[in-house]
Amino acid sequence: MSLRLGDIVDALGGSLEGGARDTRIERIAPLQSAGPADLSFLNNPRYAAQLATSRAACVIVAPALRGQALARGACIVTPDPYAYFARATQLWARTQGLAPAPGIHPSAVVHPEARVAASASIGPLCVVERGAVVGEHTVLKSRVSVGERCRIGARCILHPGVVIGADGFGFAPEGGAWLKIEQLGAVVIGDDVEIGANTCIDRGALEDTVIEDGVKLDNLIQIAHNVRIGRHTAMAGCTAVAGSTQIGAHCTIAGAASIIGHLSIAERTHISTNTVVMRSITQPGGHYTGVFPMDDNAHWEKNAATLRQLYRLRERVKALEQQRQDDSGSLEQ
């Protein structure tokens, strides 16, 4: 499979300079490993030095780097090279026929009372339970489970092993045992949502768990019951969000973070990797972190031992300060 440079700019725009429309492109590749039949891109001006040595047939660049790029060979000039690159990968996938065909794979188990759009693709060994809804052009890869009454919007992608609508974790203690609280809500997922492999989104206890339009969730994420995730928020792998927490729009949550339950996180918040969010965040656009810095094990052991006495250390400093102040007082006498 290959595409001509001319086909690419016809489909995606941008201006092809210093190269021929007929040049065949076999692959999209990073600048450093691209060969003479490859299309590449330069997003970060910090890597402009790599441009000169790249063997790529053509490089996607921003206007500011047009001169440097032309000195090397063909380029496509466009205001946002990274977005252009993303669209090029989409064009590539379409051209190579990588998109799954619409329809329900014969091995999938779809309840007769589920509603699946004709343009949706339900992959092998998926399960869609009674009353569930799958929207237009949505793709369930292999082995996805969608529970009863859960609704998935249009143009979503659910990767293998995703579980939508398992019961939320709700129990009432009674006499030392746990009474199950049946989870009577469902999960509602908007349009253009992507959900990574083996990620779980639990149904709500009484009302629904909601994932708004454009949300992107990576693999092995846990979304507990009655959580709401705002539009276009992205969350990296292995993150956990506990029950009833509301996350605003356009947040970015790095991998393996944890957000405890019943919090409210303002829009455009950025949470660093492995950070545990234990209080609500009301100011939009903040950046929060809480990670124990890694160290050589021997150093860590010393520092960790001291950390367990940190409050005492503060008291000792306070005592020294007090003594110091007493001295000054007596000197002033």
Question: 328: burial class by Cβ within 10 Å (0-12, 13-18, 19+)?
Answer: exposed
The Cα–Cα gap between 43 and 305 comes to 45
Q: Which is nearer to a second copy, 77 or 85 (CB)?
A: 85
Identify the active-site residue in 105, 111, 137, 225. Answer: 225
Complex with a second copy: residue 28 or 74, whichever CB lies closer: 28
Identity of the residue, 27 or 55, whose beta carbon is nearer to a second copy in the bound complex: 27
49 vs 298, which CB is nearer to a second copy? 298
Query: How many whole angstroms separate alpha carbon 17 and alpha carbon 19?
Result: 5
* Residue 72 CB, nearest approach to a second copy (Å): 20
Whose tokens are 């590749």? That residue is: 29
Q: Report d(CA 303, CA 255) in Å as an integer.
A: 26
Helix or strand (DSSP H, E) at 270: strand 270-271
Token pair 């007090």 in the structure block, residue: 322
Minimum distance, C-beta of residue 101 to a second copy, in the bound complex (Å) = 12
Bridge partners (DSSP) of residue 309 are: none
| Residue 137 appears among annotated catalytic residues | no
Three-state DSSP class for residue 53: helix
DSSP 263: -
Active site residues: 225
